[in-house]
Structure 1
Amino acid sequence: MSSEIDSSTLLSRASQLIDLARKAGADAADAVVVRSRSQSVSVRLGKVEGTESSESDDFSLRVFIGKRVASVSANPGFDLQALAERAVAMARVSPEDPFACLADEASLAKSYPNLQLFDATEVSSEMLREAALAAEAAALAVKGVTNSSGAGASAGMGGLVLATSHGFAGSYMGSRFGHSVSVIAGEGTGMERDYDFDSRLYYAELDDPADIGRRAGERVVKRINPRQVPTGKNVTVIFDPRVARGFVGHIAGAINGAAVARKTSFLRDRMGQQVLKSGLSITDDPLIVRGPASRPFDGEGVSGERLAMIEDGVLKHWFLSTSTGRELGLPTNGRGVRGGTAVSPSSTNLALEPGDISPEELIRSVGNGFYVTELIGHGVNMITGEYSRGATGFWIENGELTFPVSEVTIASNLKDMFMRLTPANDVDRKFGVAAPTLAIEGMTLAGQ
């Protein structure tokens, strides 16, 4: 990946595609190219297991005839005119969709900032190999680690080229680099597995591979000889930040406009109401410079802005694309994402804003409870909010982490969990979903 790839040729082809679609009978159209370049190396026990490299430019054309819409996709080298004519022919026989449309012209981005999403650092396969080997070697050097599940390093770039029939034309690219390792401690039926990783837009900001490996080794060794604990109600459960990010993802899913429109969100009737404890806020900001999920415009060409999705505990916004917004009687807020030929709403840089106390103080305040480091299964019902998942972690006794715990289940309802949530101050914003350590009171723990 030596430099940012010029997108002008792709933008020109996208514009030609739209012109041909209009000539073929489309009332409106947009064309998008999703760009992807990646290379990766995986190793295990000091030997390279795989080296992969891929490149793709995936074209999609969406055309509108009245309230009818159709989309087609193609790879580079396709016949522009044939693709445009096929899309229009499909639209003519498609059922009407009263909500499908291009974004309003007034909402399109006229200019946008340089968010510094692209790092042109050239990373060779040899550099990736050395990083993966270093991470694995550091993990295996930790006393108690007995085997490796493998390590990897990757470098890639991706982005969007978008043109519309009502005048938008733009593109952006972002880079991504990563290191990861997974190792095993213990023997036989007493084996435990854990991992660590880092992912950044800029290569120089990546954690040192040896540090990643050491952390993975130390994590897995602490998990050896886990116990079960007695079943109990009204248990305070603390989510490690790694697990807390997934929990905040449940909040994002519940306030996604598409789920609200389908009536598959348990928060669908809660706009303007208290859904988190007072004082807590969840923000979403697509315009953070070097943000992990930043973008100058969304999949429809609309600029987004920082939103307090939940402010002082009160639900203020849904994530909306144009069509989802129309279905709900609301304007888009620039959260449309292209997924193949469809546009659907999604978060960008989402964060549960931190509290005032440190993770250590939060753990001490619990007295006795359960600190979760990993969740198992998918026992979350987004229609009712019912929550039940297998968990592993550490028992908290007298305000300190004591022995490892496994083979337990934690359960509650997300509505109650949201209202019993206390965040620490350790939010890490290097991921697209950022969350601090979280304490949730009043959960049920099923153990022995």
Structure 2
Amino acid sequence: MSDTRLSDLTQALLEVAKRAGADAADAMAVDGRSISIDVRGGKLEQAERSEGVEIGLRVLIGGRQACVSASDISARTLSDMAERAVAMAREAPNDPYAGLADPAQLARNWDIAAFELEDNSAEPAASALEADARTAEAAALAVAGVSQVQSASASYSRKRVHIAASNGFSGGYGRSSRAVSAVAISGEGLSMERDWAAESRTFQADLPDAASIGAQAGQRAVERANPRRPKTGAYPVLFDERISGSLIAHLLAAINGSAISRGASWLRDAMDTQVLPEALSLTEEPHRPRISGSRPFDAEGLPTRRRAIVENGVLRSWTLDLATARKLGLESTGNATRGTASPPAPSVGNVTLTPGVQSRAELLRDMGTGLLVTSFIGATVNPNTGDYSRGASGFWVENGQIQYPVNECTVAGNLREILMRIIPANDARAHLSHLVPSLLVEGLTLAGQ
């Protein structure tokens, strides 16, 4: 569906909402299509294609609001949606902080081409995706020690989004994605070990070849063969780049406006205090080209901008949408996100943690004896205190060298203390939305044998 038709749909939703009695409204229209191919044992296991349009409407009557959505775009459905939403809003509890942006706050004159969010090359044929999945599977099976490939997949998606509101905002953009993944298994029976590799890019031309992805999955699975349990005690732990972003994700969750406004965060009193080592900053960068988390405006029509979340170790900003900002007596940071069936909520996009000067290998060398974590299983994180405990697997390190794979262990500590001790490597992958390198943390508690 063209941008014009999506824009027309959102305007039509606003018009029927006004006729139904809404004081204000915003609307969203999403047109998407996707193809996914899975192979196993050299044979096609599953092929899926989906496409369609989804619409969403939020109406406000004073401080009362309601959201409805549909996948039918007939005039009758639009009218029914508006009437239903208005009836729901009249019964909803009053929220003094709900409401649209002031027109003076709205984004204007963005250059969507500069974001490079959508690959305009031809949609890949299902046969091309199947060929990539088969190639990835064959490459994984070719690694000595791989006993089977649990799955190999290739996918493509493309969607367009348009948002409009009764305050005068109207804007949209498209996104595309191309991905290949594989999950390989080494060993047999109770000795099986599993690992994976996956790559996704906005532009098909940027995607690594499927063979390299499959080979990486196979190599990782073989490296995990015959694991042991590590020693119990306090040791340095190096979080591999594949999973180090989870530590920063806990920080981002703790500064989310929804948590802060409820007082349900271990960082609720931490504004303008040190939360990371002094040399480190955490920055949101929503305008990086060809990156999945980039966008010119948020779900409430406010302009996105670069902001310092943590500056030289000191927390400088919450992540806010309009409602949470009003509740806290602050200004929105332009971080509203939403789906067609839900009201806006704050969420962070692209973030970059200051990289270190050492490689992962150099941090391994310097850590001496400890644990390299490459995957997690489950998590227990207390959102009020920051107490942290996760099942982990990876590799035991002695004298700066990897000795053997490990599993069935637990890494524990307090996030406030953990984040204050992180030492970053320089291995963050530039195509990811969250640029977080491998992170070394001294003196974590390990529960093993």
Band the TM-score falls in, shorter-chain normalisation? over 0.9
Give me the whole-angstrom Cα distance separating, in 1, the residues matched to 2:435 and 2:378.
22
Q: Are positions 1:180 and 2:181 aligned together?
A: yes
Q: Counterparts of 1:36 and 1:19 in 2: how far apart (Å)?
A: 24
| 8 A Cα contact 2:110 2:296, kept in partner | yes
- Post-superposition CA distance 1:192-217 (Å, at most 9, x none): 00010100000010011000011111
- Pick from 108, 111, 131: which aligns with 1:110? 108
The letter of the residue matching 1:246 is S
> 1:310 aligns to what?
310
Deviations 1:100-130 (Å, cap 9, x if unpaired)?
1112211111111221100022201000000
Figure out how many residues of one structure are paired with residues of the other and give that number. Answer: 443
Q: Which residue in the other structure is 2:248 paired with?
A: 248
On the 8 A contact 2:64/2:95 being kept in 1, the answer is: yes
Find the aligned partners of 2:351 and 2:30 in 1 and give their Cα distance: 23
Deviations 1:311-332 (A, max 9, x none): 1110011111111111111111
Query: 2:298 corresponds to which residue?
Result: 298
Q: Specify the SS of the correspondent of 2:379.
A: coil
Task: Show the counterpart of 1:23.
Answer: 19
**Which residue number corresponds to residue 11 of structure 1?**
7
In structure 2, what is the equivalent of residue 439 of structure 1? 440
C-alpha root-mean-square deviation of aligned residues, in Å? 1.2
Q: How does 1:180-199 map to 2 (within 5 A)?
A: 180-199=181-200
TM-score (norm 2): 0.96
- Tell me what 1:86 maps to: 84
Given the superposition, is the C-alpha separation of residues 214 and 38 from structure 1 closer, same or farther in structure 2, using an over 3 Å criterion?
A: same
2:209 corresponds to which letter in structure 1?
A: D
Contact 1:353-1:427 within 8 A present in 2 as well = no
Match for 1:50 among 46, 49, 65? 46
Contact 1:420 1:442 in 2 (8 A): no
Structure 2: gaps (5+ residues): none
Give the match for residue 390 of structure 2: 389
- Write the distance in 2 (CA, Å) between the matches of 1:57 and 1:322: 27
Q: Deviations over 1:268-307 (max 9, x none)?
A: 1101110111011111111111122111111111111011
Deviation at 1:81, TM superposition (A): 2.2
Q: Which residue of 1 aligns with 2:257?
A: 257
Alpha-carbon contact 2:101-2:167 (below 8 Å) kept = no
Equivalent in the alignment of 2:268: 268
Mind listing any 5+ residue stretches in structure 1 that lack a counterpart?
none
State whether residues 9 and 29 of structure 2, in contact with CA within 8 Å, keep that contact through their aligned partners in structure 1.
no
Q: How does 1:317-356 map to 2 (within 5 A)?
A: 317-339=317-339, 340-356=341-357
Q: Secondary structure at the match of 2:67?
A: strand
Quick check: 2:55–2:73 contact (8 Å CA) kept in 1? no
Indicate conservation of the 8 Å contact 1:249/1:433, yes or no: no
TM-aligned CA deviation for residue 146 of structure 1: 0.5
Q: Give me the TM-score of the superposition, normalised by structure 1.
A: 0.97
Contact (CA 8 Å) 1:351, 1:429: kept in 2 or not? Answer: no
Q: Quick one: distance in 1 between partners of 2:334 and 2:36? A: 32
Secondary structure of the 1:361 match is helix
Instruction: Answer with 295-304 or 28-37: which moved more.
Output: 28-37
Give the Cα separation in 2 of the matches to 1:248 and 1:52. 34
Q: C-alpha separation between the residues in 1 aligned to 2:161 and 2:443?
A: 44
1:159 Cα offset (Å) = 3.7
Alignment-mate amino acid for residue 250 of structure 2 = H
Letter in 1 for 2:229: Q
Q: Give me the whole-angstrom Cα distance separating, in 1, the residues matched to 2:152 and 2:199.
A: 12
Which residue of 1 is the match for residue 138 of structure 2?
137
